[in-house]
Amino acid sequence: MKTSEIRALSIDELKQKEMDFRKELFNLKIQLSKGELENNMRVRAVRKDIAKVLTIITEKERAAAGEAAKRGAGNA
């Protein structure tokens, strides 16, 4: 999944995506252990997608906290 596609999602949608990717990673690891997985690089790609989602969630949460702090400081 491209970073630009991930950035377009809301925080709730990102958290749902993270859960979906984690479930997919779990299933891929099961297939890998059974020897059924044909594309081993898919495991790496899903791990990277999880990292991208977590990074963007953190960025958005920090941006929201920064905006709240600015609004709070402006009122004081």
Q: Record the pTM.
A: 0.86
Q: Look at the block and give the residue holding tokens 């299933």.
A: 27
Stretch 8-31: mean pLDDT? 97
Q: What is the pLDDT of residues 22-50, one digit of tens each?
A: 999 999 999 999 999 999 999 999 999 99
Look at 75 and 58; give whichever has higher pLDDT. 58
Q: Rounded mean pLDDT of the chain?
A: 93
Q: Does position 14 have pLDDT exceeding 80, yes or no?
A: yes
Rounded Cα distance between 28 and 25, Å, is 5
Q: What is the pLDDT of residue 36?
A: 95
- Give the fold, CATH level 3, of 3-75: Helix Hairpins (1.10.287)
